Amino acid sequence: MIKKTLCLILAACLVLAVPALAADNAPALRTSEAGIAFIKDKEGFAQTAYEDSLGWAIGYGTRCEPGEYPNGITEAEADALLRQHLAETESYIDSAMSSLGVTLNQHQYDALASLTYNIGVGWFHSGYRLYNMLSAGIQYYTDEYIVNTFARYSNSASGEGTLDALVQRRLEEALIFLYGDYEFGGTPLYEYEYKELADGDYELFHRVWAEYSPAKFSDVPYTQWYYEYVSPLTYAGIMDGYEDGSFRPGSSVTAGEALKLILLAAGFPVQERTGAHWASGYLDLAVSRGLISADDIRSLDEPVTRLFIAKLAARALNLQPDGSSHFADTSDPYVGALYNAGIVEGSYAGNQLVYLPGDNISRAEISAVIWRIYNLD
């Protein structure tokens, strides 16, 4: 028996184990920046074209013709080629998922984008286990089965056997798919061990049920709802934790932090300080653009409310209120505009949907808002 511990620790972006894939009319996803960063890391950068068992490639594994780039390419050019090729990959994923009647969440989409970018679109038919599993609904399968389904696509293109690098990549893609863990920490641990099953099938991994890898933040376990937002944002460097290894999800967000996070997510450029406070440039920008008034903030170090965030975000994104009201505790048009855009959800108090506009917004809550802004269609 082959036994090799590839301690695979995957980080995640979702809540709990495996969410069901459900059909709806949600707008089409695109590979996130965290997903693109993962693909780049796995493909590696090649300035000049190289030949492998599939033909010629350059940059981040983008296929090309021999002699097409005689002078090589820069990393910026490779990034553009990657995104162009990914757009083609995404169109195949969209078509396949539409035909199956399923909707992926962001980290599931990123995992399939990486897999398909690497191995091609050949798995998009009923002869392949991954396709059949998605068609049936992943809620009917264990995490371990899903990991082993991804692991099947680890053979070299020449058919000469399983490649360790591909086994590692497939495991990481599976764990991104399951848990959204782009950091590879804080999710269940899997161990590599080839095993033939009684029915003649085989598996490559088994879950070490009693062990979990250490989380990136001691207070952000993958079982919490906000893990799916905190993980990709910290991976991308958009949010960060504290020196003691915590994220402090329940701590209130200050005005300075909120201004920087919302404005950058909405596409405004990085601002240099214009006064004594590090966030003074973001305050001046927001006031000059009419997003807030100078009287809205007494101190950049004071907590801000959920209503303040709604108004700032809606105005920064130029979302037009339509007068609709969804919450029992506020009829504010900007809250309604964010709800219509899928950026805020609220919570239930008994049978009533409430927004709690006067409550200070927490770091966990704003991570969900910021992630959704970055992933607006």
101 and 205 housed in the same domain: yes
Q: What is the pLDDT of residue 46?
A: 96
Percent helix, strand, coil in the chain, to 5, is: 40, 15, 45
Q: What is the mean pLDDT of residues 302-331?
A: 93
At 287, the pLDDT band (50, 70, 90 cuts) reads very high
128 and 174 housed in the same domain: yes
Between β-strands 202-212 and 55-59, what pairing exists: parallel, antiparallel or unpaired? unpaired
Q: What is the mean pLDDT of residues 290-307?
A: 94
Higher pLDDT, 218 or 146: 146
Residue 245 in any domain: the answer is: no
Q: What is the pLDDT of residue 161?
A: 53
Q: What is the pLDDT of residue 56?
A: 92
Residue 84 burial by Cβ neighbours in a 10 Å radius (0-12, 13-18, 19+): exposed
pLDDT tens digits for range 206-241 = 776 544 455 578 788 777 888 878 877 876 778 888
Q: Which domain holds residue 19?
A: 3-212
Q: What is the spatial distance between Cα 111 and Cα 102, in angstroms, rounded to a whole number? A: 15
Retrieve residue 360's tokens.
């200070």
196 and 292 housed in the same domain: no
Q: What is the pLDDT of residue 160?
A: 54
Q: What is the pTM of this model?
A: 0.60
At 376, the pLDDT band (50, 70, 90 cuts) reads confident
Residue 336 has pLDDT above 80, yes or no: yes
Average pLDDT over the chain reads: 84
Residue 366 has pLDDT above 50, yes or no: yes
At 157, the pLDDT band (50, 70, 90 cuts) reads low
Higher pLDDT, 196 or 61: 61
267 and 351 housed in the same domain: yes
Domain boundary among 212, 238, 266: 212
Q: What is the pLDDT of residue 294?
A: 87
Residue 145 is which amino acid? Answer: Y
pLDDT tens digits for range 45-74 = 999 999 987 789 999 999 999 999 999 999
Q: What is the pLDDT of residue 182?
A: 83
Residue 226 in any domain: the answer is: no
184 and 277 housed in the same domain: no
Q: How far is CA 294 from CA 23, 280, 288, 373, in A?
A: 45, 12, 9, 24
Residue 318 has pLDDT above 90, yes or no: yes
192 and 257 housed in the same domain: no
Residue 159 has pLDDT above 70, yes or no: no
Residue 287 in any domain: the answer is: yes
Edge-to-edge strands, sheet with 188-196: 3-9, 188-196, 202-212
At 331, the pLDDT band (50, 70, 90 cuts) reads very high
78 and 193 housed in the same domain: yes
Q: What is the mean pLDDT of residues 335-342?
A: 93
pLDDT tens digits for range 243-274 = 888 899 999 999 999 999 999 999 999 999 99
At 88, the pLDDT band (50, 70, 90 cuts) reads very high
25 and 146 housed in the same domain: yes
Q: What is the mean pLDDT of residues 23-46?
A: 82
19 and 164 housed in the same domain: yes
Instruction: Work out how many domains the chain is built from and give that number.
Output: 2
